């Protein structure tokens, strides 16, 4: 017997994690449960090692011990599997919509999901402007500040203002709410049964992204949220109606027209280069 599966070299990865993975990998579709001896035979691990790691896996609900002492896969694996499937589908649906919105606005677009009392950036598409609002996938932000957090809270049942208004308008503009140097607008995305999946957020530095610009972007954002909601299989008529209550986007390209005049001459040159097919430096 060894402390590592025969297929792995002793120095590969973190040993304890490798062993825990080996225990989970011992289960197949045909197995309702496995005894300690069966796991030891399939992994090549000592029984004492399996018992120690099994306790950690059970605390994480990745493994369960039955009354007869046998083990079965725990409920957390179902949740992780569901998240994986959802992530794959969500990525395929959301990223093209987010890219379109970013192209239309020339600003950064992110998709946030609620995680308890915080929100997490699941996907993001960055602005083409040299100076831009940058958020990384996986970044965790407060829930009750910023346009994304406010919209998530509103459609999770938060009471009072501004949440009552958000539920009527399906969007929220925030200027300096979370960060004094940024501004943004967000709208919800729903799934089957009107389940709140997350929010689309369009954001940028407030030297360029002001209330007037965000108001102009309200209709394109709501149209993007409606498009995503329909793609997830839910009726988007409420988002369509909300978008019709907003003024239409001007014909001027927000990347190069009125939206650009607040950018410095150097940044204008960089943007002009981008328009001609060049690349900007990182912001």
Domains of the chain, start order: 15-75 (1.10.10.10), 84-274 (3.30.450.40)
Per-residue model confidence as pLDDT tens digits over 70-111: 999 999 988 887 777 677 678 899 999 999 999 998 889 999
Nearest Cα neighbor of 107 from 251, 211, 255 is 255
Per the structure block, which two tokens stand in for 189? 């995305």
Given a cut of 90, whether residue 204 has pLDDT beyond it is no
For residues 194-219, average pLDDT: 91
Per-residue model confidence as pLDDT tens digits over 133-158: 667 788 888 888 899 999 999 999 99
Under a CB-based contact definition with an 8 Å cutoff, are residues 198 and 112 in contact?
yes
More confident position, 270 or 144:
144
Degrees, nearest 5: CA angle 117-121-78: 75
Query: Model's pTM, two decimal places?
Result: 0.59
pLDDT number for residue 85: 66
Degrees, nearest 5: CA angle 219-122-186: 25
What share of the chain in percent tops pLDDT 70? 80
What's the first-to-final CA gap in the chain, in angstroms? 54
The overall average pLDDT reported for the chain is 82
Under a CB-based contact definition with an 8 Å cutoff, are residues 280 and 130 in contact?
yes
Q: Which band of pLDDT confidence, cut at 50, 70 and 90, is reported for residue 227?
A: very high
The gap from C-alpha 227 to its chain's centroid, in whole angstroms, comes to 17
Given a cut of 60, whether residue 119 has pLDDT beyond it is yes
């Amino acid at each position: 017997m060894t402390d590592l599966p025969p297929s792995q070299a002793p120095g590969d990865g973190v040993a304890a994690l490798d062993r825990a993975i080996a225990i989970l990998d011992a289960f197949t579709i045909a197995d309702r449960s496995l005894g300690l001896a069966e796991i030891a035979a399939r992994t090549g691990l000592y029984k004492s090692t399996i018992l120690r790691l099994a306790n950690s896996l059970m605390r994480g609900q990745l493994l369960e011990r039955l009354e007869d002492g046998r083990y079965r896969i725990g409920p957390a694996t179902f949740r992780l599997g569901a998240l994986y499937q959802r992530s794959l589908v969500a990525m395929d649906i959301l990223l093209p919509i987010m890219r379109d919105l970013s192209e239309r606005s020339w600003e950064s677009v992110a998709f946030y999901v609620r995680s308890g009392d915080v929100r997490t950036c699941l996907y993001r598409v960055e602005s083409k402007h040299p100076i831009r609002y940058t958020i990384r996938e996986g970044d965790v932000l407060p829930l009750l500040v910023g346009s994304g957090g406010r919209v998530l809270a509103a459609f999770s049942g938060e009471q009072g203002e501004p949440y009552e208004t958000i539920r009527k308008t399906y969007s929220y503009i925030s200027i300096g709410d979370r960060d004094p140097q940024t501004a943004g607008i967000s709208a919800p995305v729903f799934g089957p049964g009107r389940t709140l999946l997350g929010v689309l957020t369009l954001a940028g530095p407030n030297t360029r992204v002001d209330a007037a610009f965000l108001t102009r972007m309200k209709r394109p954002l709501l149209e993007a949220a409606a498009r995503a909601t329909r793609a997830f299989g839910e009726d988007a008529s409420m988002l369509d109606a909300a978008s019709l209550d907003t003024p239409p986007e001007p014909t001027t390209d927000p990347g190069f027209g009125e939206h650009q005049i607040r950018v410095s001459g150097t940044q204008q040159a960089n943007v002009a280069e981008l328009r001609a097919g060049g690349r900007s430096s990182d912001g």
